[in-house]
Amino acid sequence: MRPFGDLEAAIMRVVWEHGEPISVRVIVDRLNEEREVAYTTVITVAERLREKGLLTRVRRGRAFLYQACLSADDYSAELMRQALNSAESRSATLLRFAGQLSIAEADSLRAALAESQRNDTAEELE
């Protein structure tokens, strides 16, 4: 999985924010609030995202509706996992990453790690 290009990221952001199947027309309208983009360009990029396994589509009448295959959080987590897998030293990479977190983000990470440990312990006891 690769990071998104600019238009891919913008399209995925609209799809994720919408939360349910969305037409290309709605995507284009939302994108045009920020920048001008052609309808055909959005169709092309949405189809490429579908071919990459990031979007699904269903036909509704004459239109296709697109929906994300992964949540934004799942996509970001997968990119982070891949980055760690390609690091020479996972520990050093994690330390540098952690050093860039705000206090609130570090607190969230600590809470997530504690929850993960509780879940692992509970599974071991079962």
Asked if the structure places residue 73 within a domain, the reply is no
- What confidence category does residue 83 fall into, taking pLDDT thresholds of 50, 70 and 90? very high
Let me know whether 60 and 100 are in one domain: no
Tell me, yes or no, whether 84 lies in a domain.
no
- For residue 118, pLDDT over 80 is answered with yes
* Statement: residue 77 has pLDDT above 90: yes
Question: Residue 125's pLDDT is what?
Answer: 77
Closest of 39, 34, 5 to residue 23, by C-alpha: 39
Q: Are residues 55 and 101 in the same domain?
A: no
pLDDT bucket at 27, cuts 50 / 70 / 90: very high
On whether residue 82 sits in a domain, the answer given is no
99 shares its domain with 57: no
| pLDDT score for 37 | 97
Percent of the chain whose pLDDT exceeds 90? 89
What distance in Å separates the CA atoms of residue 114 and residue 95, rounded to the nearest whole number? 17
DSSP secondary structure of 74-102: HHHHHHHHHHHHH-S-HHHHHHHHHHTS-
Question: Is there a domain that residue 47 lies in?
Answer: yes
DSSP class of residue 35 equals S
Q: Is residue 32 part of a domain?
A: yes
| 58 and 108 co-located in one domain | no
pTM for the predicted model, two decimal places = 0.81
For residue 42, give the CATH number of its domain: 1.10.10.10
Residues 102 and 50 in one domain: no
pLDDT at residue 75 in the model: 95
Split into its structural domains, the chain has a count of 2
- Expressed as residue numbers, the domain containing 94 is 89-125
Enter the tokens of residue 124: 């071991």
Tokens found for residue 53: 């396994």
